[in-house]
Chain A
């Protein structure tokens, strides 16, 4: 039986409220709120970029560009309780523009070259391998759904609306992805 670990509804509502509050402050010209927004959603933005591009450098660039676009267009955001959908839309547009100008033949191994060494080398290496494995073995659609649901905490229905796909498609891709991840974990033990 799958035990889902994502943000609870309450946590998600709090997170969304925080993001909307920060967007409102940025729209009013409070530059300092941009730092706060970065801290709240940096992993969401990076994870989605990496899941789509499969390239560390591109993911870094997309991440920075996304925040700049958020800063530029914060005034256009209308609070509706779903700020992540707006942010991911901005990011998706940037990714599509990137795909238009370059080929996507970079292997995922290249994404982790020259990664800066952090403190706990052993654990970080294991995590890296895990991330590399799971993202190499999942299709782009499966990676996309997994990061939006697990990292950003979006509901499947919201993901379906955002990606303009049927809910059943999103659910089946997610379930297939989780099964692949379970195999990866078993193989690594």
Chain B
């Protein structure tokens, strides 16, 4: 190896990897700019005229100040314009943070909604900072403090903007920005970005359940939009992490035709730390004893299932074998791909073979009245013991 190559390679190998630290320090620099260096002042010239000039300058400043006050009092509507609150942005990972922005997207306040957020915001003053910088700082701090990682990569961004037309733009911008923050790292964020209107009822429910307004709104959408949940499930859903809620919500069945113009919600990225849908389907087919070509997957849901006084996330997979038309419903543990429960139904999903539960098939609605579900409640996935 040539000497120059050896030198260059040696330095390259020794160079530390402090990329994330540098980026974070840059963000902190904007919040805590270093005081300007004190320049050496030339000694003032002593003298009569120097004193007179200073007095005159002071009088001029005082006069301008007084005039300014008088103008402010006399002219109607001449009170200095205070920045107005226009947008509330809620960031939920596990730490929950609320940012209030003015009409120019500068931060008016940044509040920790829970204890974890208090620790990451400690010493961070984001007031007066542009939202883009603040978002970098907060998300960066969550990453540096270990709240965001390859298998814990879910972020919920909720935007409540007085200007409704701006909401869609902000949702798209923040999603892009968070993806860019991690563009060169090992993490692919899974993001739900949504619009929210924080009225009194929502705020009260959020407080009662100990979650942010954004998380409560997502739970409300799940309860209202998924047949598998009722209002009674809201409290249990509040205890789940953003990662778990993201997993459920991103696999919810679409009702009707998807609205392509709908921009008030963006769901992107795969939730890390879980077995993929493809793998769960493969385990199912293998257990049934058929190949992918011999069966048709009728539906895949993700739902919480109670196991030993805790919740686990399960894929609810409905498969129909083409040859004999038999339908199988499987619950596969999202964490490890193990079969939690399996059931063979009749030739069509409405004819259970064993008189058990209907098993999570959203296109067929509620179970028949004559069915006696083993666990009660929703099709196939118990929320109550």
**Which residues of A sit under 8 angstroms from B184, Cβ to Cβ?**
35-36, 39
A118-133 to B contact mask, C-beta < 8 Å, 1/0: 1000001001101100
What 0/1 pattern do residues 114 to 142 of B give for CB contact below 8 A with A?
A: 00000000000000001011001000000
Which residue of A60, A72, A128, A178 is within 8 Å of B3 (Cβ)? A178
The answer, yes or no, to whether B62 is at the interface (CB within 8 Å) is no
Contacts of B21 in A (CB 8 A): 64
Q: Is B275 an interface residue (CB 8 A)?
A: no
A46 touches B19 (CB 8 A): no
Choose, from A83-91, A143-151, A155-163, the stretch at the interface: A143-151
Inter-chain CA distance A67–B181, complex, in Å, is 17
**Contact between chains at B132 and A64 (CB < 8 Å):** no
Q: Give chain A's interface secondary structure class.
A: helix
Contact call B11/A5, Cβ cutoff below 8 A: no
Inter-subunit contact A131/B4 (CB<8 Å): no
- The answer, yes or no, to whether A71 is at the interface (CB within 8 Å) is yes
In the complex, what distance in Å separates the CA atom of A139 from the CA atom of B22? Answer: 30
Which of these, B6, B13, B16, B180, contacts A185 with CB under 8 Å? B6
Within the complex, the shortest CB–CB distance from B24 to chain A, in Å, comes to 10
Categorize the interface residue count of chain B: 20 to 34
Contact with B along A2-37 (1 / 0, CB 8 A): 011110000000000000000000000101101110
Binary per-residue interface labels of chain B (302-331) against chain A in the complex, 1 for a CB within 8 Å, 0 otherwise: 000000000000000000000000000000
Proximity string of chain A (100-142) to chain B, C-beta cutoff 8 Å, 1 when within and 0 when not: 0000000000000001001000001001101100100000000
| Range class of the A interface residue count | 35 or more
Q: Is the CB of B22 within 8 A of A185?
A: no
**Which single member of A63, A115, A118, A127 contacts B9 (CB below 8 Å)?**
A127
Taking a contact as CB atoms under 8 Å apart, the answer to whether B7 and A181 are in contact is: yes
Q: Enumerate B1-58 residues with CB–CB distance to A below 8 Å.
A: 2-16, 18-19, 21-23, 25-27, 29, 33
Q: How far is the CB of A184 from chain B (nearest CB, A)?
A: 9
Contact of B15 with A42 in the complex, beta carbons under 8 Å: yes
Contact: A131 with B25, CB < 8 Å? no
Q: Quick check: A185 and B3 within 8 Å, CB to CB? A: yes
- Please determine whether A38 and B19 come into contact, CB atoms closer than 8 angstroms: yes
Task: Answer yes or no: B183 CB below 8 A from chain A CBs.
Answer: yes
CB neighbours (8 Å) of B23 from chain A are: 31, 34-35, 38
Tell whether, in the assembled complex, residue A32 and residue B183 are in contact, meaning their CB atoms are under 8 Å apart.
yes
One of B7, B27, B33, B130 near A150 (C-beta < 8 A): B7
| A115 → B minimal CB distance (Å) | 8
B26 touches A71 (CB 8 A): yes
The answer on a CB contact under 8 Å between A147 and B11 is yes
Q: Is A98 an interface residue (CB 8 A)?
A: no
Q: Is A54 an interface residue (CB 8 A)?
A: no
> Are A47 and B15 in touch, CB under 8 angstroms?
yes
**Contact between chains at A32 and B181 (CB < 8 Å):** yes
- Are A128 and B180 interface neighbours, CB within 8 A? no
Residues of B within 8 A of A128 (CB): 10, 14
A130: chain B residues within 8 A (beta carbon) = 6, 10
Say whether, besides A31-B26, A32-B183, A68-B22, A43 and B5 are in contact (CB < 8 Å).
no
Question: Complex: how many Å from CA A32 to CA B178?
Answer: 10
Q: List 12 A-B contacts (CB under 8 A).
A: A6-B4, A32-B177, A35-B23, A43-B15, A46-B11, A67-B26, A115-B14, A127-B6, A128-B14, A130-B10, A131-B10, A181-B3
Q: Which 5 A-B residue pairings sit nearest by Cβ, starting from the closest?
A: A5-B4, A131-B10, A47-B11, A71-B26, A46-B15
